[in-house]
Amino acid sequence: MVDKRSAIALRIIHFARHTLRKYSRLSLTNRSEAGCVTMAANSVEAAKEAAAHRAVIDFVEDNKVIGIGSGSTIVYAVKKLAERVREENLKLICIPTSFQARQLILEHKLTLGDLETNPSVDLAIDGADEVDDRLTLIKGGGGCLTQEKIVASCANKFIVICDQGKDSHILGEKYKKGIPIEVIPFAYVPIGNKIKGKFGGDVELRMAKAKAGPVVTDNGNFILDWKFSAMAHNWDEINREIKMIPGVVETGLFVDMASTVFIGMGDGSVKEKVRT
């Protein structure tokens, strides 16, 4: 009986040791994978910061009206702006393109302005979801495309900042979520059908993640995401044709608007694209 119990005990000990070694290896693997993910995320954030700092250092001057874009990359630009205002006593007026941008301006104690009192903007700085070799942009992943395009159109210079994951030869090469199109809610179905019928691809109503129903823009409208084929297109013509559809407010295609794009790289350097 003792020998039998001893054999059972040994088997239990052996199983426990085997299980412990197995999960120790899994834990090491998981920690290694988590470390790689963290390093990659840090690399992207460093790239965004490098691009933002380059734009603010190279282009922002005293006594100017600055358009402030939306998105994660613009956070670094606003921080750098605030730093320069404190250290150099710059006098700047900042025009927001979204509620987020407005909050960033106030949070960093910058001077808040609007287009009613400052219809002419010296410089607009904004991010992009994708930029091609001709500096055509896809914007609107955050849903603020109309305000962003209005402010950019009022600016004497429009500077774009992004990380290398947004840099493509042609639109659609990397960004797969489609071109955002802000539309009047009443007309979203016929607009989607017309876009699919004329240009192909697929059109989806953007749905909210934290609540039931569609995303609603700051203007009270819906957003359609047009998923197109990644190939060479005449984006200027397509942009104009989509905007002619009744019920379309604006598209996320920014054609011939950006003068310079700063692209942050993983090693902290910055690539520059200039429209010729």
Q: pLDDT tens digit string along 230-270?
A: 777 899 999 999 999 999 999 999 999 999 999 999 888 99
Q: What angle do CA 189, 192, 194 make, to 5 degrees?
A: 110
Residues 128, 183 within the same domain: no
pTM: 0.83
**74 assigned to some structural domain:** yes
- State the Cα–Cα distance between residues 96 and 65, nearest whole angstrom: 11
**145 assigned to some structural domain:** yes
Phi, psi (degrees; rounded to nearest 5) at 81: -60, -50
pLDDT in tens, 52-75: 999 999 999 999 999 999 989 999
Residues 260, 138 within the same domain: yes
CATH number at residue 90: 3.40.50.1360
Residue 195 Cα distances to 87, 172, 201, 207, angstroms: 50, 17, 8, 19
Residues 69, 94 within the same domain: yes
Q: Look at the chain and report how many structural domains it folds into.
A: 2
**148, 173, 237, 272: which is the annotated catalytic residue?**
148
Q: What is the pLDDT of residue 23?
A: 47
**127 assigned to some structural domain:** yes
**29 assigned to some structural domain:** no
Residues 267, 243 within the same domain: no
Residues 93, 163 within the same domain: yes
Residues 59, 154 within the same domain: yes
148 carries an active-site annotation: yes
- For residue 232, what are the domain limits? 179-251
Residues 202, 72 within the same domain: no
- State the Cα–Cα distance between residues 132 and 124, nearest whole angstrom: 19
Question: Are 133 and 170 a contacting pair, CB within 8 Å?
Answer: yes
Percent of the chain with pLDDT over 90: 79
pLDDT in tens, 170-214: 999 999 999 999 999 999 999 999 999 999 999 999 999 877 899
Residues 143, 215 within the same domain: no
**42 assigned to some structural domain:** no
Residues 134, 75 within the same domain: yes
Residues 263, 236 within the same domain: no
Greater confidence, 204 or 23? 204
Q: Is residue 34 pLDDT above 50, yes or no? A: no
